[in-house]
């Protein structure tokens, strides 16, 4: 009988997209359900099994605190009823204010609770809920090892993983077309697009088109007239593709030379995975300025450029692109992050060693960093115990630490230097 997993998410696409990725990775081996609110439901495809569970968001006003407590109490009662009727084995929460009553109900029923934090600073909900959780999975090591108390997580609770993306990014991701001298630019603003981008970036693109052959693919905010945009681009001989919101857009088209984007954790992870350099203009009003910190993680690895909205001046985008068109040395594509480890880690945390092992056998090469590889050379089953024999670079030893369990042990043979892929 399959284990039952409830994935709790809601609010913006920043919470919902990671939840959908988890759902798609786990749905074949587990009985997975999705809990979301009315805001989050609009990002969830119709075909996905979900329950819309509304928790009213109350403005941050002290005099409204009693009302907020009442709403949360009723949501908690609803959660208790749901857990009693469905016998959930594991709850995975991707954060958001609506996760509080669900996590508390899971704790009452002694359900295993796993928190998921894709941003570079732990969200307020996850920070509070950490005390009830078995584990919190995150992308940024500074959440665990950083000096910022606001974002600190005890080492025994936190585990750093590589970004978990939609299934499509791990299969046939090459949608590149025949290369010509056209410079292809993507402008994307996350699940809700960006009003700032829609207002201010068109003139930058038009200016660039006077010097270079430009093709623009741009996500517009709702309320903008696509046809008037198209007309202006056409008048300047700019090939264009304009849209509002399209699910998994980068899975379908990803042959871009550069992207201009906000700094949602999922969007940046997808661009990095596809080796698309990007200019990030973080949303300045994100909670605890987490979008800036998301972008800075890639900036520190020489993967992107950052422009702060408060300091943005007309011509800033033009200057960066003009500079990299002249000086190709600055134009650096990034290296892909680990894929297999990101997905496999969940099977260990979910207590399913047999599934984990089957996945490892299929994926014999595990890329744990940009350069270093692990090769599984043998798996031996002795009763209920399993030994995994592997060859690895010394900088990759931590890759298997995440799958350690009472029934799985890893024997590693260390090789100094690169391990070539056969």
Residue 9: both structure tokens together: 């998410």
* 218/256 same-domain check: yes
- The structure tokens listed for 57 are 């968001």
**Segments in 109-212 forming alpha helices (H):** 124-129, 142-145, 195-200, 202-209
CB 37 within 8 A of CB 64: no
Comparing 122 with 65, which gets the higher pLDDT? 122
- pLDDT-wise least confident of 171-185, 359-373, 379-393: 359-373
| Whether residue 174 is found in the same domain as residue 86 | no
Exposed e or buried b for every residue in 233-266, given b needs 16+ CB within 10 A? beeeebebebeebeebebbeebbbbbbbbbbbbb
Residue 193 lies in a domain: yes
Cα gap 13→199, rounded to integer Å: 22
| 158 vs 150, more confident | 158
* Residue 193, pLDDT above cutoff 80: no
Please tell me the predicted confidence (pLDDT) of residue 417.
46
List phi, psi (to 5°) of 179: -75, 130
DSSP 405: B
User: Is residue 394 situated within a structural domain?
Assistant: yes
Q: Which of 164, 180, 197 is the last residue of a domain?
A: 164
Q: What per-residue confidence (pLDDT) applies to 282?
A: 93
Q: What's this model's pTM, rounded to 2 decimal places?
A: 0.74
Same domain for 148 and 187, yes or no, is no
Structure tokens at 404: 């350690």
pLDDT value, residue 185: 95
The answer to the question of residue 46 being in a domain is yes
Same domain, yes or no: 185 and 160: no
Q: Are residues 160 and 176 in the same domain?
A: no
Q: How many domains does the chain have?
A: 3
129 against 288, higher pLDDT: 129
Grade residue 45 by pLDDT with cuts at 50, 70 and 90.
confident
The Cα 1–Cα 42 span in angstroms is 31
Q: Is the pLDDT of residue 56 over 70?
A: no
Residue, of 324 and 71, whose pLDDT is higher: 324
d(CA 236, CA 399): 51
- 270 CB neighbour count, 10 Å cutoff: 25
Per residue in 379-421, pLDDT (tens digit) is 666 666 666 666 665 545 444 554 555 666 666 665 544 444 3
The span from the CA of 407 to the CA of 219, in Å, is 48
Is 210 among the domain residues?
yes
* pLDDT (0 to 100) of residue 24: 86
How big, in percent rounded to 5, are the helix, strand and coil portions of the chain?
A: 40, 20, 40
CB of 23 closer than 8 Å to CB of 271: no
Q: Out of 236-250, 336-350, 392-406, which region has the weakest mean confidence (pLDDT)?
A: 336-350
Same structural domain for residues 153 and 238?
Answer: no
* CA atoms in the 13 A half-sphere facing the CB of 364: 9
Alpha-helical runs (H) found in 27-64: 38-41
Virtual torsion, Cα 397, 402, 403, 406, nearest 10 deg: 100
* 11 and 146 both lie in a single domain: yes
CA angle 167, 169, 175 (to 5 degrees): 135
Per the CB < 8 A criterion, the answer to whether 392 and 419 are in contact is yes
Q: Residue 352 has what pLDDT?
A: 61
pLDDT at 340: 39
With respect to residue 85, please indicate whether it lies within any of the assigned structural domains. yes
Is the pLDDT reported for residue 369 higher than 50? no
CB atoms under 10 Å from CB of 34, counted, come to: 25
Give which of 44, 343, 7 is closest to 191, Cα–Cα. 44
Among residues 278, 304, 330, the one where a domain terminates is 330
Per-residue DSSP letter, 29: T
Kindly state the tokens that stand for 265: 């954790």
174 and 112 co-located in one domain = no
Inside any domain, residue 337:
no
Query: 100 pLDDT exceeds 70?
Result: yes
Q: Which of 302, 330, 358 is the last residue of a domain?
A: 330
Residue 371: pLDDT band (50, 70, 90) is very low
Based on the domain organization, do 19 and 145 belong to the same domain? yes
**Same structural domain for residues 121 and 74?**
yes
Helix (H) or strand (E) holding 69: helix 65-86
Asked whether residue 338 is domain-assigned, the answer is no
254 three-state secondary structure: coil
Does one domain contain both 158 and 175? Answer: no
pLDDT of 351 above 90: no
Owning domain of residue 374: 343-414
pLDDT-based confidence at residue 360 (cuts at 50, 70, 90) = low
The reply to whether 150 and 208 lie within a common domain is no
pLDDT at 413: 61
In-domain check, residue 336? no
The average pLDDT across 151-163 equals 73
Of 105-109, 255-259, 263-267, 300-304, the poorest mean pLDDT is in 300-304
The pLDDT score that the predictor gives to residue 372 is: 45
CATH number of the domain where residue 72 is located: 3.40.50.2000
CA distances from 310 to 260, 284, 304, 307 (A): 16, 8, 18, 9
């Amino acid at each position: 009988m399959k284990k039952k997993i409830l994935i709790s998410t809601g609010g913006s696409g920043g919470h919902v997209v990671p939840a959908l990725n988890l759902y798609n990775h786990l749905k074949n081996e587990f009985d997975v359900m999705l809990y979301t609110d009315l805001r989050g439901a609009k990002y969830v495809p119709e075909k996905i099994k979900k329950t819309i569970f509304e928790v009213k968001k109350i403005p941050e006003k002290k005099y409204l605190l009693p009302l907020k407590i009442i709403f949360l109490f009723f949501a908690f009662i609803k959660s208790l009823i749901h857990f009693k009727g469905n016998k959930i084995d594991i709850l995975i929460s991707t954060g958001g204010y609506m996760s509080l009553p669900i996590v508390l109900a899971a704790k009452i029923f002694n359900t295993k609770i796993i928190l998921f934090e894709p941003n570079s600073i732990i969200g307020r909900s996850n920070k509070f809920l950490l005390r009830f959780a078995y584990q919190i999975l995150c992308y940024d090591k500074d959440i665990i090892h950083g000096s910022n108390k606001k974002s600190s997580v005890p080492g025994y609770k936190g585990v750093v993983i590589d970004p978990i993306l939609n299934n499509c990014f791990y299969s046939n991701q090459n949608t590149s077309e025949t290369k010509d001298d056209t410079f292809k630019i993507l402008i994307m603003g996350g699940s809700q697009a960006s009003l700032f981008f829609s207002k201010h970036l068109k003139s930058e693109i038009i200016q660039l088109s006077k010097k270079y052959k430009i093709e623009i693919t741009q996500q517009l905010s709702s309320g903008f007239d696509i046809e008037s945009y198209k007309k202006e681009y056409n008048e300047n001989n700019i090939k264009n593709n304009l849209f509002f919101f399209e699910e998994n857009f980068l899975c379908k088209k990803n042959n871009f030379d550069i992207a201009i984007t906000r700094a949602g954790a999922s969007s940046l992870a997808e661009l990095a995975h596809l080796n698309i350099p990007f200019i990030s203009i973080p949303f300045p009003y994100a909670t605890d300025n987490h979008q800036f910190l998301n972008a800075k993680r890639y900036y520190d690895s020489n993967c992107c450029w950052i422009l702060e909205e408060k300091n943005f001046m007309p011509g800033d985008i033009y200057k960066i692109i003009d500079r990299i068109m002249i000086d190709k040395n600055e134009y650096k594509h990034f290296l892909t992050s680990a894929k297999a480890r990101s997905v496999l880690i969940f099977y260990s945390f979910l207590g399913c060693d047999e599934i984990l092992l089957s996945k490892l056998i299929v994926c014999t090469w595990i890329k744990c960093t940009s350069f270093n590889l692990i090769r599984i050379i043998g798996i031996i089953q002795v009763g209920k115990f399993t030994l995994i024999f592997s060859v690895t670079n010394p900088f990759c030893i931590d890759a298997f630490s995440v799958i350690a369990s009472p029934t799985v042990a890893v024997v590693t043979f260390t090789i100094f230097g690169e391990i070539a892929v056969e």
